[in-house]
Amino acid sequence: MSFLGNSKALVLVYSGMKEKSLSKPVNIMLTPQFYILKKETLPLKYHYQAKKIAASLFDGLLENTSKYDYFVYKEEEEWVFIAYDMQAINDFLLSKGISPEQIGKIFFAQQSAANFTAPLLLGEKEALLALDNTVVIIPQIALKEKGEILTFDDSFTPKKGVTSQGMHTSALSMKQTIGLTAFFTLFALMFFIEGWRYSHDSQAAQEEMQMLLEAHPSWQSQYTRESISAKYRAIDKNERKKREVVKTLAGMIFKGVKVGTFQMNEKVFKVDFICKDTKVAQRLIQLSKKSGFKSAETVTGNIVHIEEKL
């Protein structure tokens, strides 16, 4: 399947042609029997300007009962205007067994005028020929005998053509297709990567857990782990608290303060600081309260007593 190239076969359509039975879509080339041609030398620069005035150039030349479309292109110094009745072309093609969905592009014989270097026979009576760079139909009788005869093939396919509105046409151009496909593919890639990362994260955590379980086979049960954890957490908390208390009390010893007694067990601690005088004792009480020991008080003169639960 070619996405970019035009690989369809080219079929020449003329009024006397035989009925066709197509298995693949084709491009068609219309003979002058299906269009009206006009060439003009006009001071126009752009194609859209020529297209705009196309209808006015055919004023009085076309039948009012038909609806015409126009195909315009530039041929060296001249602008070529082609008027065609798409409905009539469609009806004719259907009568010859070519349905609209089988048609790719429609071309006009005039577009390939340069290829008509010799006559091309249309059935038994007529021939297609380029005269003064204009493709026309002439009776075969007017041809020279034993002259060269052209064979019609895909090499006559011009670059540009038209697509009938009545026939199928893609709603998306190639550029739009590429753009949208790239956009959707990019997002698809992002979603896949993100999904993979979630999956991978979970796998890594599972592997880590597996490794830990292998290192500690007796801790397979969540209940066992919770029980052991509660035990060690309680020990950790209590022991840290004991050490913190001892360090805080040690930090409260300054000049004029000595430890008289200190007692600590699993639940409480008591300490008596011997102070040099009442002034020092008061300062120590203030410091104790600041350190969080609210039970600090003076007993028997200059002794500061602290007793608290752990």
Residues in the site for another protein, rule: CB under 8 A? Answer: 1, 3, 25, 101-102, 168, 170-174, 176-177, 180-181, 184-185, 187-192, 194-196, 198-199, 201-202, 205-206, 208-209, 212, 216, 219, 222, 225, 228-229, 232-233, 235-236, 238-239, 242-243, 246-247, 250, 258-266, 274
Residues 243, 221: contact at Cβ < 8 Å? no
CA distances from 38 to 46, 73, 80, 135, 162 (A): 18, 11, 6, 12, 18
Question: Minimum distance from CB of 173 to another protein (Å)?
Answer: 7
User: In the structure encoding, which two tokens stand for residue 16, read together?
Assistant: 């006397």
Question: Minimum distance from CB of 197 to another protein (Å)?
Answer: 8
> What stretch of H or E contains 16?
none
Unique residue bearing structure tokens 């992002």: 190
CA distances from 268 to 17, 121, 230, 234 (A): 115, 120, 22, 16
**E strand residue ranges, 144-267:** 257-264
Question: Minimum distance from CB of 141 to another protein (Å)?
Answer: 41
175 phi and psi, to 5 degrees? -65, -45
Nearer residue to another protein within complex by CB, 3 or 48: 3
Nearer residue to another protein within complex by CB, 141 or 171: 171
Question: Minimum distance from CB of 250 to another protein (Å)?
Answer: 7
Residue 52: CA atoms inside 13 Å, Cβ hemisphere, count?
Answer: 7
Question: Minimum distance from CB of 62 to another protein (Å)?
Answer: 31
Unique residue bearing structure tokens 């039970």: 295
Nearer residue to another protein within complex by CB, 153 or 244: 244
Residues 106, 71: contact at Cβ < 8 Å? no
Residue of 255, 274, 269, 277 whose CA lies nearest to 309: 269
Q: Which residues contact 190 (CB under 8 A, 6 or more apart)?
A: none
Question: Minimum distance from CB of 72 to another protein (Å)?
Answer: 26
Nearer residue to another protein within complex by CB, 184 or 286: 184
Question: Minimum distance from CB of 94 to another protein (Å)?
Answer: 16
Nearer residue to another protein within complex by CB, 165 or 206: 206
Nearer residue to another protein within complex by CB, 59 or 266: 266
Nearer residue to another protein within complex by CB, 25 or 32: 25
Nearer residue to another protein within complex by CB, 154 or 239: 239
What SS3 state is found at 88?
helix
Residues 304, 273: contact at Cβ < 8 Å? yes
Question: Minimum distance from CB of 147 to another protein (Å)?
Answer: 40
